Amino acid sequence: MTIPEHPAPAAQAQRVPREIKVLVAAAFVIAMGFGLIAPILPQFARSFDVGIAAAGFIVSVFALTRLLFAPVSGRMTDRLGEPFVYVGGVLTVAVSTILCGFAVDYTQLLVFRALGGLGSTMFTVSAMALIARLAPPEMRGRISGLYAGAFLTGNIVGPVAGGLLAGLGYRLPFFIYGAALIVAAAFVYFSLLGIRSGRRRERDARPSMDVREALESPVYRAAIASGFANGFSTYGVRVALVPLFAAQAFANGVALAGLSLALFAVGNGAALTVAGKFTDTHGRRLPVIAGLTVGSVAMAGIGLTDNVALFIALSIVAGAGIGFMNPAQQAAVADVVGQDRNGGKVLASFQMATDLGAILGPVAAGVIADRVGFGWAFALTGVVGLAGAAAWVRVPRAVPQA
- Whether this prediction's pTM lies above 0.75 is answered by no
- Compute the chain's Rg from CA coordinates: 20
> Do the beta carbons of residue 34 and residue 178 sit within 8 Å?
no
Instruction: Output the CA torsion sign for 160, 358, 134, 13.
Output: positive
What average pLDDT does the segment 168-193 reach? 83
What average pLDDT does the segment 113-126 reach? 87
Query: What pLDDT was estimated at residue 301?
Result: 93
Query: What pLDDT was estimated at residue 193?
Result: 65
Q: Say whether pLDDT at 223 is over 50.
A: yes
Of 156 and 181, which is predicted with more confidence?
181
Convert 257-281 to b/e letters by CB count within 10 Å (16 or more is b).
bbbbbbbbbbbbbbbbeebbbbbbe
Q: Say whether pLDDT at 197 is over 60.
A: no
Tell me the average pLDDT of the chain.
80
Convert 131-169 to b/e letters by CB count within 10 Å (16 or more is b).
bbbbbbbbbbbbbbbbbbbbbbbbbbbbbbbbbbbbeee
